Structure 1
Amino acid sequence: MSLEILGYTKDCRTNTNVVYADIKISDYLDLVGDDFDRFEIQRKRQDPKKYSRLKEDIKKGALLPAITLAINPSKVGDFLAEVEAKKSDHLITKLIKSPDLYILDGLQRSYIIKDLVDEGVVFNENQKLLIEIWFESKIEHLIYRLIVLNSGQKPMSMRHQVELLFTTLKTEIEEEIPNLKIYVEKDGQIRSQAMKFSFDRIVNAYYSFLTKSPEIKRDNLIVKKLNEDDILSSNEQELNANYNHFIGYLKKYCALDLNMYKIHSSGAESTGFKNWLADENTLKGFFAAVGRYSSDEKKTERVNNALDKLIKEAIKGVHDPMYLNVFYELKTGIDSKKYNVGNETRRLIMDGFREFFIDEGDTTFDECWKNAAR
């Protein structure tokens, strides 16, 4: 393979090792693999017609802007000796054999290159592709880079940045929470057990947690932008703290899901609610409530105490401590002529949990649902 190291540098802000390289464009797909979009979960391919001019330019031998690749954070340590010692030959050998390279920036260009290969286009023998490879193992630095730095450098939505972040951290999250399974909907999997969630819904849950809102696609774009700008102005420590808080609540959420799944899968309690906590509306509503109500130390303690009480009740398995039958009755009573049912469902879930948090879990959930209903 024609991969060649051009130079080494560091991002002095995060002390991240960065390697610059080039490769013949005809060899690029061999480096990243035919399934190069495996880490770009839920990122839709853009309309190829928008890139018709670029496609023609590539066929004529144009030099593309550099594509940014990164090593899976959990595997960065396997490369550091070669990177620090600048042993290019050894590093190239490892990179060529590595299944842990993913595309951080350049997915659409990669799709075009693959289209041209599939069409049998023979590239110019001297046509190279520039590559920038990031070796970053610390989660807090990755959060900072993907959410903050990218926002100032690229026209990338915050939702997209959060998606990229979780793409790189999926394995670490699953290791942090034993028995958690994050699956990709495009793989055709279905939820067949507790603590199994689709990737996209976990991403949306974190986004709702950060923005303190269950609405991903808001009609009020000004409010949405103000909320996102507030997050993007956060420093590295704040972003890292937010991420760790989210993981902590995700652990509790998984514990609750495990026991609620059991309650609604057996005996007289067997109902259609066993997958309720995996529903997108539930994830958005719950994490929006947590994000909104755990804004200071005192409120965080209330939230944690409330959730611990709820989990203990669920573990007993005697009855449904969340009274989802009451929730369902209230949900079916939403007037579709007056309200958007989806929006109202998410609001009901968020406000129901908020009511539960306010009283530190001492008010039963049937009352919380009723208090939250319009």
Structure 2
Amino acid sequence: MKIYDKDFDKVINGVVASGSLTYREAIEKLTPLISKTEFQRKLQDKKFYAKLERDIVDGCVMPPITLAFVEKSIDINTEIDKIESYFQKEFDKSFVLDGIQRLNTLLRVSKNEKFDFEKKLYFNIIFSDKVDKLLYRMITLNNGQKPMTPRHQVEMLMANVFDFDKLGIEVQTEKERADKIKINSFNKADIEQAYLAYMANSPMVDNKKIIQDKMDELIVNKIISTEPNDDSGNFEDVIKAIAKLQVKQTNLKWLKQANNLVGFAVGMKTSHTEIMKLTPDDFEKSLEIFEKSFSDFNPSKIKLGKMRRELSFEYFKNYSKLKDYDSYDLLEYFSDITND
């Protein structure tokens, strides 16, 4: 166990120290703290943390947890080695301010034969003279704000990770499009929805019949239940494929349609190798066959948007098989799967 640094929190008038310990030490010293205080959150259903369990076994660095002490003797002038010594002796007097679910997950996964007991767990320790100050900090850490929805997380991730100009496509926000639409640009909200669907491995990530909070829960469940696959490529491949294929105006127009884009993106998760090889001309010919088959469905008998999203997903998910179908074969195939 090691303390690296310290700082002073002026809001709660407390010292915050940062350090690490091994998973073994965390299990021995910290997991007994999980049910220590009455105001801590009830443990969630373990299925919500199934993805984290798999990631821990695979060697991820678990997000830091936060511990707390009601203690007057530790102040900003206390030396780091004394803070470290204090924690070593008095750790059982602390409680978990943020990270109960992670510690509980760590305890469960420690029974896996592949578990690495020497992996580091990083943590912060807050020292304050009153428990209500620590409770305030815990509320701001856990419940002070409405948790980010999966859509918001995707939005934040895309804003910080993807450089669309370098990847080769033009993207505009709703506000930018309201001012002036660039003819060949994609709606950023459509790209974000495609990314969310890609993460969930399902084209159906939007259902107006379901209240939004419950829909977000369903999306989270889909994401955490999707097994990682080293052969599935990544969403950057989708952007690169769009940049390559959009040079044909027919392709660009088709890809800019939100339902098509979502279905195509999720389908690429399975068929990225095959699709990345396509030329713009090849893609245009495939779209011609797809659209011919799709146009033969009776629009009065189907929900066009939902059907388009599902069938574009189905087509590109199974592209290695369906690429050689003519429009009649493809119509028969689509008819069979939609009648199941």
Which bracket does the TM-score occupy, shorter chain normalised? 0.3 to 0.5
Q: TM-score, normalised by structure 1?
A: 0.43
Larger Rg: 2
Q: TM-score, normalised by structure 2?
A: 0.47
